[in-house]
Amino acid sequence: MATVSYEADADRSLLADKKVAILGYGSQGHAHALNLADSGIDVRVGLREGSSSAAKAREAGLKVAGLSEASAEADVIMILLPDTEHEDVFTEHVAPNLKDGDTVLVAHGFSVRFGYVSAPDGVDVALVAPKGPGHLVRRTYTEGGGVPALIAVHQDASGTARGVALAYADAIGGTRAGVLDTTFEEETETDLFGEQVVLCGGLTALVQAGFETLVEAGYQPESAYFECLHELKLIVDLMYEQGIAGMRYSISTTAEYGDLTRGPRIITDSVKAEMKKVLGEIQSGAFAEEFVGEVKGGGSRFEELRQAGKDHQIEQVGAGLRDMMPWISAGKTKVEDASGGD
């Protein structure tokens, strides 16, 4: 079982005399910077020259500097930019300004786990990963709560890397909910696996295949949309709140019996075998190499796949049906990229 730490376990004095730089002011960046500032930490936001986020950060009362300047000033540097940007930003702006005793933090282990970020021997490298989007990290903090977080240590030159990571997690509100110890390998590999096999890749492919099966059988696309996508939120919410067993208790006996007897016919041993192949690609670094190469190569295949998804019939049908249900989007804003932004 994982080690779980709370407020009483964190030593905030480990950050008391340190200057912290947050590189990026996207979903996670703004939440970390504001929560740290409200916790009394000396924080500045590092941004590219001309970044549109600079005005927002200054309006929030934060100090803003360039990426290199912020890194040079700081003792603790948290990189909250998209994974594919870590290597270039680290090489150009962070590494030249590191000194022994500094700490480099990330909120997702991808760039460190796969070798795109490698700090000198005298520098600590650790992970602080809130398990929620930035707006939730900020909102729960202002309400007196917090979002659970993960911490891990990759390089402990000072002997206090874990303590600093836990103090940082405490300062952004994580210890109010609980902070779990993990490793860079576990956080990165399970995160990528969950995204690809279940939460994003597996789920969207399942929804589209179910929709296509009904439409091809002659059913109305609108009915297929409701049954394969719209009602998904009800089931996910029940699982989120009560677990799988709780969801099954809450649905009809017809749905429960169909779940228990037909579900295993869809997710078969061959599907699980493919899941293991995907996990192997993640563990070996093959996925990371493919992804980074695609993005740095211009992303043409990425864009083709993205556009094909947008062009799928389920998107056209869904857009029309959602227009009939304005309460779905009432008060909602566009979801920000949890990996960061500039």
> Would you name the residues annotated as active-site residues?
108
Q: How far, in Å, CA of 288 to CA of 335, rounded?
A: 24
Pair 78, 105: CB distance under 8 Å: yes
The count of residues in the chain is 342
Sheet containing 76-79: which strands, arranged edge to edge? 4-5, 179-181, 149-155, 124-130, 103-106, 76-79, 19-23, 42-47, 63-66
Q: How far, in Å, CA of 88 to CA of 64, rounded?
A: 20
* Residues whose CB falls within 8 Å of the CB of residue 112, separated by 6 or more in sequence, listed in order: 106, 118, 125, 127, 154, 184
Q: For the chain, how are helix, strand and coil distributed in percent, rounded to 5? A: 60, 10, 30
Both tokens assigned to 126? 């650790």
Q: What angle do CA 136, 72, 95 make, to 5 degrees?
A: 90
* Residues whose CB falls within 8 Å of the CB of residue 104, separated by 6 or more in sequence, listed in order: 77, 79, 90, 94, 98, 117, 119, 123, 124, 125, 126
Q: How far, in Å, CA of 137 to CA of 154, rounded?
A: 24
Task: List beta partners, residue 47.
Answer: 66
Within 10 angstroms of residue 172's Cβ, the number of other Cβ atoms is 28
H-helix or E-strand spanning residue 240: helix 232-250
